Structures are given as C-alpha cells and as structure tokens.
Amino acid sequence: MKNNRVLIISDSPDRRNFLEHHVRCHGLAPIRYPNILSAVKAIRSDPFSMVVVDLSLPVEPKLSLIRETYHYQPDAQVITIEKEEYLKNTGAL
C-alpha cells in the first residue's frame, strides 16, 4: 500500500488547520507539528510521502529541515510555503 502520510509543519495553528483540511480533501493523511524540532524527530522515524513546511523562521533552520528530510525520506516530496516579502528579506530571492 502506498504511503499517503503528509507531514505539515507550521507555527500558525490557523495555517496548520487550513493545510490539514486540504490534505484530507485529497484523501491523504495529515500529520501536524508546530515546530522544526518535533518535525525532525518524526522525519527520522516515520515514513512520509510529502512534507509541507510553512514557517516564518530563518532560512538556515528550514534548509536544515529539508536536508534532514532528503536524508531520511529520499522519496518524499517537499513543499515550502513562504510570503514573497519574507523571501526577499532573507535574501532567498
């Protein structure tokens, strides 16, 4: 059976709820975490088909999370959600 678990990482409860709703609507199983530390523990031990990162944190912790994901979950898709203003302010754009 195909893994349909989606890890959602967001520091905003409203965004976590919004993302969870839409993930469920597509027949997937959302697993939610409010911060990177708890999400990294899950990435190291549980299988996910997709990881959605929506955090207003410095770029480096996010990149570290993404590196962990690719190391422990090489087949997982990674989606990051950011505001354009945040990306410009951090130099990512």
> Which residue, 30, 25, 31, 87, is CA-closest to 62?
87
Give mean pLDDT, residues 64-86. 87
Q: Which amino acid is at 23?
A: V
CATH of 5-90, one of 1.10.101.10, 1.20.81.30, 3.40.50.300, 3.40.50.2300: 3.40.50.2300
Tokens of 85: 């203003």
Q: For position 83, what pLDDT does the model report?
A: 67
The pLDDT tens digits for 11-57 are: 888 989 999 999 999 999 999 999 899 999 999 999 999 999 986 76
Distance from chain centroid for Cα 60: 15
Contact 67, 43 (CB under 8 A): no
Give mean pLDDT, residues 61-84. 89
CA distance 33 to 92: 24
pTM value > 0.85: no
> Which residue, 56, 64, 59, is CA-closest to 93?
59
Contact 42, 76 (CB under 8 A): no
Residue spans per domain, the chain: 5-90
Q: For position 86, what pLDDT does the model report?
A: 60
Tokens of 68: 């962990």
> Predicted confidence band at 81 (pLDDT cuts at 50, 70, 90)?
confident
Q: For position 20, what pLDDT does the model report?
A: 95
